[in-house]
Amino acid sequence: MAISNINQLLIRNLEALVATRPLLVNIADDGFIAQYLAQHSVIQLDSYHSNYAEYQATKRIANPRVQSHFAVQYQAKSRHDLAIIHFPKSKAEFGFTLAMLAESMLEDATIIIVGENKGGIKSAAKLSHDYLTFCNKVDNARHCLMYIGRFKASLAHFDLEKFYKYYSIQIQEKQLQVAALPGVFSQNALDIGTEVLLAHLPEKMSGKVLDFGCGAGVIAAYIATMYPETKLSLVDVSALALHSAQKTLTLNQLTGEYIASDSLSNVQERYDFVISNPPFHQGVKTHYAATELFLAQIKQNLHKNACITIVANSFLKYAPIMEKAIGKTKTLAVEKGFAIYQCDLNNNSLKNN
């Protein structure tokens, strides 16, 4: 596996990353951790991820000196003297991350922030003003930047609830309450793709329903409201998304099963309906592999008469993938730059244009 630009920047600074109990925050491992452990033979390292796939990759290291964590928020058992933070694509999530970490750090702990130039890291000093006494640039290589800082002495106790954004949406005659944490898709408002998708759901739904890439839970909440006899499973790679989705369903007095999964890795059941506004962005780059893998593998999780409906940017040609992997696929609509694709294995509930 090629070492990322961010980790190359960290590796060239390995000697300076001196600590007894360092914490890595959303640092994807591609060999960096092994080099870090080799350079500093006495450290006990914790690696926290809000991304389940990256958490699984770190967990596979299986080194007693490495503890891997996946959760909506990190809470240390022993305080850390160093944190290395991957600057997130959401600037709001950066403030969330700093606020979350403050109570897990020693008073004189060093804070390292790394990220790609085009990912917004140049705003790290400005965005960290409420949390850090200073945030200074210390290195620049491989189109990436590294900053160093230190937490302010007395910061407010971290309250996850304060970072939620709430809004209401009206879809046909149904009104729903939505809750979303920073960095979660559709954090501030209903996105156009989901709006188009909800207008082209199957006319009748019952049984087990899978919402793949659930985000803040808008799709699942709408389905449960319109079709109360359905049993919902919500899947996402993000701990923040899953927590948001659970909050959204609770606000609307709904329930579901929440599954952290790298694509379909932890999805075990078969479903009558699969509905998805699948993700195609990861970090600051555009990736289609996760959605293409989902479409290629989803048939194993479908009942024989199941129906799958997805929305995608109209330039993403997912219909041929669905045709090959699942069965005959129909384009239900192309609206507002989005296309709705549906494959009905029973061929009886395809919604007419």
Quick: pLDDT tens for 101-120. 999 999 999 999 999 999 99
Mean pLDDT of all residues in 247-263: 97
Amino acid identity at 210: L
Residue carrying structure tokens 């991350």: 97
Residue 1, pLDDT score: 66
Average pLDDT value over all residues in the chain: 93
- The one-letter code for the residue type at 158 is F
With H, G, I as helix, E, B as strand and everything else as coil, classify residue 208.
strand
**How much is the pLDDT for 287?**
56
pLDDT in tens, 265-317: 999 999 999 999 997 644 434 456 778 899 999 999 999 999 999 999 988 88
- CB atoms near residue 43 (< 10 Å): 19
* pLDDT reading at 134 higher than 50: yes
pLDDT, one tens digit per residue, over 90-103 is 999 999 999 999 99
Q: Which residues of the chain does CATH 3.40.50.150 include?
A: 5-160, 164-344
DSSP state of 238: B
What pLDDT, in 10s, does the model give residues 36-68?
999 999 999 999 999 999 999 999 998 999 999
Backbone CA torsion sign across 93, 94, 98, 101: positive
pLDDT at position 351 over 50: no
- Residue 169 makes CB contacts below 8 A (sequence gap 6+) with 175, 176, 178, 189, 190, 218
User: For 146-170, what is the mean pLDDT?
Assistant: 96
In sequence order, what are the beta bridge partners of 275?
A: 211, 309
CATH of domain 164-344: 3.40.50.150
- φ and ψ of 84, to 5 deg: -115, 115
CA 138 to chain centre: 29
Sorted by sequence, the CB contacts under 8 Å of residue 99 that are 6+ apart come out as 131, 155, 156, 158, 163
Strand partners, 210: 233, 274
Q: d(Cα 136, Cα 300) in Å, to the nearest integer?
A: 51
Query: SS3 for 78?
Result: coil
Q: What pLDDT was estimated at residue 213?
A: 96
Which tokens hold the place of 136? 């200074």
Other Cβ atoms within 10 Å of 42 Cβ, number: 8
pTM of the model: 0.94
Fold of 5-160: Rossmann fold (3.40.50)
- The arithmetic mean of pLDDT across residues 201-227, rounded, is 96
Identity of the residue numbered 343? C
